[in-house]
């Protein structure tokens, strides 16, 4: 298809992928592609999946991306995550550091997400944007592009974004949100590399994402059992939990933001050189981790830094303040941050402080009160975020205990039925004392079986009591609305971290909490019965 560029003037809203005119001078920015055949999928997506998101590229090409969901709904929601490693070696570069992440887009009010490349950018994709003529798709162009500088990478994203703007109709046909491509930030990359919301909190903190086999099944690294010193084609190994290929190994991937050192609980203030992540086909296996990151210079001996084992992977995001409506929404949400919602005997301290501030005439005092107001709201916000995380953990625990107590009840019933059958139907009570200890109906064997029954009952009753305690404690420590507000987020965490089988138990736990809040009655027997019913329905 011959691409035609609109020469008429048009206003382009920030972040909007709509038809725009770049004038005659802009034509030189884009290759004169002429007619091109659509690429065969094997050149850009060797492992297709149903949830792939496909962005169009010049030369009738394609770029495959994956949605990276974050447990956030509102624009100012974000999730606290820990980046880096707990090891002290090279701690100034890689030590565990708190950070926050949120997605750019949302589908019908669902959890927010950003998009990241399923594969590293290939030579074919790079040439389709940067060359004057369309490259012919062939297998040797399906290697990751290397030997490009950070500035080349940014120029590539700039030129690609301009093409997307000119060809916005292609995106609209696919129902994609307005946005743009760029290199990933350090936080975006590591969150996705670790598996994002698809893994549990403990799995997220492991040195590598969950692997069902050896590292060489997931990453290309140095040595004869893996890459053997050679760059490899994209998508030949197993993906991480987000279906991302070669996120570890093959080529280092450049970040958008610059390198910062670690200063125990935060990043140091000095901005450094280029961050490259993930390791490459020349990296030792021991360094192929989710936290491994290296600083490279922007310039190497008067020229921009390039390397044969450094490439790129793109993200697709958008502006924060993309419209007047969005700004108003952000302003409203920001003003609500840290405001106390519960009425108590002291009233709403934030609102009372604002009233006092308005009555003060001295400008210096007013500024100090405003600063105090911000500090108070910030403290309230941190408290609320910690509270919400605690509730989510309590709810996940409640769902697990409900499932666990039903498992233990099944074991108790099995053991008890076996004991009753042996005593009442199989064994003769008159002969029990005379039988050899090895006989199934001997007194010793029956006493051992009775002990197993008692132990299984005690284990079930202990977990049932623990389950009941969590209901009472959760209902006592938090308001009903505050608990129920975490329903959707907790459900999302369970479903996306491989615990979808817990969803029914979570819904039942919510029901039990709300029933207890309404009645004040501890209904252990009824709670046990309904947990058992869910287990029965899953058989």
Query: Among candidates 123, 101, 122, which has minimal Cα distance to 112?
Result: 101
Pairing of strands 79-83, 97-101: antiparallel
CA distances 355 to 180, 350, 352, 361, Å, are 43, 9, 5, 12
Burial of 289 (0-12, 13-18, 19+ CB in 10 A): buried
Mean pLDDT value across residues 96-117 = 90
The larger pLDDT score, comparing residue 90 to residue 279, is at 279
Task: Give yes or no for a contact between 82 and 96, defined as CB atoms under 8 angstroms apart.
Answer: yes
Under 8 Å CB-to-CB from 434, ≥6 apart: which residues? none
Q: HEC string of 214-278?
A: CHHHCCECCCCCCCCCCCCCCCCCCCCCCCCCCCCECCEEEEEEECCCECCCCECCCCCCEEEEC
SS3 content of the chain, % helix, strand, coil (to 5): 45, 10, 40
DSSP 109: T
Residue-wise pLDDT tens digits, 487-537:
888 888 888 777 767 888 988 988 998 988 888 888 889 999 999 988 766
pLDDT band with cut points at 50, 70 and 90 for residue 131 = very high
Cα dihedral 289/291/292/295 (nearest 10): 160
Length of the chain: 539
Task: Give yes or no for a contact between 85 and 208, defined as CB atoms under 8 angstroms apart.
Answer: no
In percent, the amount of the chain with pLDDT more than 90 equals 47
Mean pLDDT value across residues 342-350 = 52
Burial of 214 (0-12, 13-18, 19+ CB in 10 A): exposed
Q: Quote the CA–CA distance of 319 and 314 in Å, as a whole number.
A: 16
Mean pLDDT value across residues 96-108 = 89
Could you tell me the pTM of the whole model? 0.72
**Domains and their CATH numbers in the chain:** 37-317 (3.90.1580.10), 324-380 (no CATH), 383-538 (no CATH)
Q: Quote the CA–CA distance of 279 and 288 in Å, as a whole number.
A: 6
pLDDT of residue 493: 83
Residue-wise pLDDT tens digits, 20-79:
333 333 333 444 444 467 899 999 999 999 999 999 999 999 999 999 999 888 888 888
Q: Quote the CA–CA distance of 249 and 385 in Å, as a whole number.
A: 35
Q: Quote the CA–CA distance of 78 and 73 in Å, as a whole number.
A: 9
pLDDT of residue 512: 92
pLDDT band with cut points at 50, 70 and 90 for residue 444 = confident
CA distances 80 to 100, 262, 404, 466, Å, are 4, 17, 29, 29
Q: Quote the CA–CA distance of 67 and 7 in Å, as a whole number.
A: 34
pLDDT band with cut points at 50, 70 and 90 for residue 3 = very low
- For tokens 């108590």, what's the residue? 344
pLDDT at 263 over 60: yes
Rounded to the nearest integer, the mean pLDDT of the chain is: 85
Q: Quote the CA–CA distance of 457 and 535 in Å, as a whole number.
A: 18
Q: Quote the CA–CA distance of 288 and 245 in Å, as a whole number.
A: 14
Under 8 Å CB-to-CB from 435, ≥6 apart: which residues? 441, 442, 443
Pairing of strands 252-258, 310-311: parallel
pLDDT at 360 over 50: yes
Task: Give yes or no for a contact between 305 and 298, defined as CB atoms under 8 angstroms apart.
Answer: yes
């Amino acid at each position: 298809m011959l691409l035609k560029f609109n020469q008429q003037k048009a206003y382009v809203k920030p972040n909007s992928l709509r038809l725009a005119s770049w004038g005659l001078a802009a034509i030189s920015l884009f290759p004169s592609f002429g007619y091109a055949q659509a690429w065969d999928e094997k050149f850009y997506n060797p492992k297709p999946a149903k949830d792939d998101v496909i962005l169009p590229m010049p030369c009738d090409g394609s770029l495959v991306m994956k949605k990276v969901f974050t447990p956030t709904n509102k624009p100012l929601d974000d999730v606290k995550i820990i980046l880096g490693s707990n090891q002290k070696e090279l701690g100034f570069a890689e030590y565990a550091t708190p950070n926050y992440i949120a997605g750019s887009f949302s589908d019908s009010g669902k959890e927010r997400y950003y998009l990241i490349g399923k594969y590293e950018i290939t030579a074919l994709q790079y040439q389709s944007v940067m060359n004057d003529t369309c490259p012919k798709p062939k297998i040797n162009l399906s290697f990751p592009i290397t030997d490009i500088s950070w500035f080349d990478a940014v120029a590539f994203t700039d030129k690609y974004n301009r093409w997307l703007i000119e060809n916005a109709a292609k995106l609209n046909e696919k129902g994609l949100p307005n946005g743009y491509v760029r290199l990933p930030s350090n936080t975006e990359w590591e969150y996705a590399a670790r598996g994002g919301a698809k893994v549990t909190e403990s799995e997220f903190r492991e040195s590598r994402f969950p692997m069902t086999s050896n590292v060489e099944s997931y990453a290309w690294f140095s040595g004869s059992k893996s890459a053997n010193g050679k760059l490899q084609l994209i998508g030949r190994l197993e993906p991480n939990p987000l279906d991302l290929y070669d996120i570890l190994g093959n080529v280092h991937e450049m970040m958008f933001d610059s390198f910062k050192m670690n200063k125990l609980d935060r990043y140091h203030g000095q901005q450094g050189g280029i961050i490259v992540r993930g390791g490459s086909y020349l990296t030792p296996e021991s360094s192929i981790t989710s936290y491994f990151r290296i600083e490279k210079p922007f310039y190497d001996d008067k020229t921009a830094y390039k390397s044969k084992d450094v490439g790129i992977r793109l993200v697709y995001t958008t502006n924060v303040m993309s419209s007047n409506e969005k700004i108003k929404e952000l302003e409203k949400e920001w003003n609500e941050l840290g405001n106390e919602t519960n009425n108590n005997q002291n009233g709403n301290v934030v609102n009372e402080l604002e009233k006092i501030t308005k009555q003060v005439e001295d400008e210096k005092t007013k500024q100090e009160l405003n600063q105090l107001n911000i500090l108070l709201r910030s403290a309230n916000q941190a408290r609320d975020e910690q509270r919400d995380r605690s509730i989510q953990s309590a709810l996940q625990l409640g769902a697990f205990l409900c499932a666990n107590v039903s498992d233990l009840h099944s074991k108790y019933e099995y053991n008890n039925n076996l004991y009753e059958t042996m005593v009442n139907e199989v064994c003769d009570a008159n002969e029990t004392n005379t039988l050899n200890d090895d006989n199934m109906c001997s007194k010793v064997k029956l006493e051992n079986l009775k002990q197993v029954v008692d132990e299984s009952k005690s284990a079930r009753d202990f977990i049932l009591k623990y389950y009941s305690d969590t209901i009472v404690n959760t209902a006592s420590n938090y308001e009903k609305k505050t608990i129920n507000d975490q329903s959707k987020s907790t459900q999302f965490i369970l479903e996306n971290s491989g615990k979808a089988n817990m969803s029914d138990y979570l819904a039942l736990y919510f029901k039990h909490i709300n029933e207890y809040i309404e009645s004040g009655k501890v209904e252990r027997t009824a709670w046990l019965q309904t947990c058992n019913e869910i287990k029965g329905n899953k058989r």
